[in-house]
Amino acid sequence: MDTLVRPDTYEIAALSAECGVDAVKYSREKGKPAFALTRPPGHHAGPDYGMGFCYFNNISIAAEHLLNTGDQSIAIVDFDVHHGNGTEDVFGNRADVLYISTHQAGIFPGTGSVDFLGNDDGKGFTINIPLPSGCGDSTFHSAYSKVITPIVRQFRPDAILVSFGVDGHYRDPLASLSLSSNGHLAMAKELLLLSKECGNRITFFLEGGYDVPALSEVVAATVGEFIGVEVPLEFTDITDKHCLGRSAVERCSKNASEYWSL
């Protein structure tokens, strides 16, 4: 329905996946952050299906490339407003890839329950933080400080890959979280800081984001951060002042604390 196939779709989707592989190779070779400005996006595509504008799971293909060429462990952090069901499907039963997703609860694709923490050997290596509509900067700050940062640090990945969606922005027409541009940049900065513990090996992958001005300034500010250039931000309204998602974050933390020290 929303993932049309045209004569050149295969070639374009393959180029997008290849861009991700090139980006992680660059990051590994140079010890620097990279940003794969890919379209189409990837995190809804599973091992044998496409959906939600995604054909190939760019971030999973890049993670698999790293694992097949010497790396032992990869952390994938996904802050697109939608759950990355495809990525979870690819790695949900494995312990070599940690997958952590923050997403709006109850919207497309309907997966990403806080009670799913992985299957078989992968138990504890999938962390889902579904959040009620309206959650924004203070809720995400809490999710990073209480759950995401401590778990990534304990996992000690060889590299961090980020599903970078900007559809959790308050301007986005497809969903109803309330992150500001500053809130997005704060997450990018936190992940860049974490990546100093793994040789600056971090690669951002563009996923969703349907308000182009917000998408543009958040991506530009993140890339600016790589090279120490501050990009002025326009969309900085703060609506979630009192941590609307506090109980959702606490519930996730309680579940995850069976596997991680939180």
CB of 165 to Zn ion, least distance (A): 5
On whether the CB atoms of residues 176 and 81 are closer than 8 A, the answer is no
Distant-in-sequence, close-in-space partners of 59: CB < 8 Å, separation ≥ 6: 20, 42, 43, 76, 84, 87, 161, 163, 205
208 scored as a contact of Zn ion (CB under 5 A)? yes
**Sign of the torsion angle spanned by Cα atoms 49, 130, 206, 149:** negative
Stretch that binds Zn ion, among 11-19, 92-100, 144-152, 205-213 (CB under 5 A): 205-213
Stretch that binds Zn ion, among 11-19, 75-83, 94-102, 179-187 (CB under 5 A): 75-83
Near Zn ion by CB under 5 A: residue from 82, 103, 146, 171: 82
80 scored as a contact of Zn ion (CB under 5 A)? yes
Near Zn ion by CB under 5 A: residue from 33, 165, 183, 245: 165
Instruction: List the catalytic residue out of 43, 44, 65, 83.
Output: 44
Q: How many residues bind Zn ion (CB under 5 A)?
A: 5
Q: Which is nearer to Zn ion, 127 or 215 (CB)?
A: 215
Stretch that binds Zn ion, among 14-22, 69-77, 125-133, 203-211 (CB under 5 A): 203-211
CB of 193 to Zn ion, least distance (A): 25
CB of 209 to Zn ion, least distance (A): 7
State the number of CA atoms in the 13 A half-sphere of 181 facing the CB: 19
Near Zn ion by CB under 5 A: residue from 89, 167, 172, 217: 167
State yes or no: is 44 an active-site residue: yes
Q: Which is nearer to Zn ion, 51 or 220 (CB)?
A: 51
Q: Which is nearer to Zn ion, 71 or 80 (CB)?
A: 80
184 scored as a contact of Zn ion (CB under 5 A)? no
> Encoding tokens for residue 241?
């002042």
How far is it, in rounded angstroms, from Cα 213 to Cα 253? 34
CB of 175 to Zn ion, least distance (A): 7
240 scored as a contact of Zn ion (CB under 5 A)? no
130 scored as a contact of Zn ion (CB under 5 A)? no
Q: Which is nearer to Zn ion, 92 or 209 (CB)?
A: 209
- Residue numbers annotated as active site: 44
Task: Provide the binding-site residues for Zn ion, judged by CB under 5 A.
Answer: 80, 82, 165, 167, 208
